[in-house]
Structure 1
Amino acid sequence: MTDTVDKTPAPSVPPEQIKAIPVRHYGRWVSGVVVVALVVLIGIAFSNAKINYSVIPDYLFDQGIVAGAWTTLYISVLAMVLGVVLGVILAVMRLSSNPVTSTVSWFYIWFFRGTPVLVQLLLWYNIALVFPILNLGFYKDEMNQVMTPVLTALLGLGLNEAAYMSEIVRAGIQSVDEGQTEASHALGMTQGQTLRRVILPQAMRVIIPPTGNEFINMLKTSSLAYAVQLPELIKKATDISSTSLAVVEMYFVACIWYLFLTTIFSIVQYYIERRYARGSSRNLPPTPLQRLRKNLARWGSFRRPEVAR
């Protein structure tokens, strides 16, 4: 008699369910407690300090403070425009095959990046000691009359900014593939047309972020113009503090205005960066406004009652 082999498959035994145990991060809790404790201690210290906080709202929109903030804004914009225009020229000169223009551009960048902005402002402010008379042939006047605090701040801040902007623009130009230049020349474009129509538009995605940072930094660096008697925000705050004796309080007022200006332009920079990053292959995250509209739409659909059919 032949034995019959049972070919019925054995019942499959389900594997034991794996239970994931999260790793405990004790260091996070310790660092969090330490940071919170430091913040509380700083808050207690400032609350017990001899600062009259009720004075700050009174001077926040003072006529002199608002005028100083406006001066800070427009001198920063003018100096930044000068720095960007001159920086593009210096960057093109630096990349030129002409050794004379390349050397002059390098020397300019080396000098203005290597000396403090305050020293440059003071040199322009006291330039009448070296050149008492400004004689351009078609225009002649005393240098003290020509070199006003506004012009001093514009030259000191703008020429210094041009040295940094030239390096930013040069990095942006070099980020564009050389094949773009060769293709433009093959289409019959000149060097200037290639730079304006092909190279710079593509380099903007690299140039815009550091340029925005430079402008925000310019808003704060403009406070150094206080040394050349420009009536900007710090100068106005100091003048008011000398009569009201609220020295620290007026500096708090200036800090609030600087934070307001830098926040506004940080938001503008964010949207400009998104504008020039649209051609990149990566997917851009939604903006805060887009997320807000999405959440409001989701909340509205959740609260909307269903209509009976």
Structure 2
Amino acid sequence: MDSVNKEKQIVDQLDRGIRTGLFLIVLLAVSLSLMIMVGCSSDNSDEPQSAGGQISGVIEDEDGNAYPGVSVTASKGSESISQTTDRNGNYSLTTSSAGAYQLAVELPLATNSVSSNPASVSVTSDQQSTANFVIQPQPVEATLNYGQADIFNEIRDEDGNAVTTSTVPIYAANFFQEPIGKLTAIKAPDGHHVTLGEWKQAKGELQVHCDGNSATVNIDLEGLIPDGTYTFWLAFLNKTKKIGQSVGPSDFVHPINPPLKSGTDNVLTADANGEIEATIVHHSCILTDEVALVIPIIYHINGNTFGSGVIPDAEEVSHLLAYFQ
């Protein structure tokens, strides 16, 4: 009986040993398998990169006026994405990855940036970052059409020569209609012949504020021909011009320059002191989507205006020009 019990004990011990060994083998195999899986996972170069995010904001001036057509660019390394603002001044850019992006605004004509430009923006994966820019329009000085900004040698004496003496009566020379060089006496509404000294009194400034699909042009001029009739036009140029550089037909974006405002709204009359203080609203933001802009301020010698049509050369003359660039 004792021998039977001993044999049973020996068998039980062997059985437990075998099962323990098998368990340890299985445990070791599982551990090795997990280690291999972790190693493969850490070396997997196809693992998805962090997702990008969005940068959005608005471009407006200090009065809250929105600026459409403004180009905004976000860049990081070799990545560069751009968009122009909509009519409400809004933009939205989608980046390919997270991280720090440089955000730059191409400023509209005759404006300064109140905000930092460019600005650094931190983008978080699948999140939206906000970057608003505030700009401010700057007054543009109206330059006299004589001397520094002499347009096509338009101001002449009675012999067609350059004028240098202030007391000499002046003439306007045809420069785009035949006969080229034809002279017309520049007279005031009271009939007296304007001298160079009187002509050179003109000065002032223009300032443009955009707001969506319109532009407000504030006009503040003095030294004009008393009671004289003036119109304001848009001359978009295909490149910037220094004041005084010659402007030829090939420099204009449009063959026929449009009026600042069609019809009688484009016509302003100086008061008895030769001053004009007024506002004209145009149907688009004239400060964006253009390389440069010149606003010629035209004096109508005989007081006649011609709406949006071409003004006869012998009946008008550019008195001042405002360069927006």
> TM-score, with normalisation over the residues of structure 1?
0.20
The structure richer in helix per residue is 1
Higher RCO (CA-CA < 8 Å; seq separation 6+): 1
- TM-score, structure 2 as length reference: 0.19
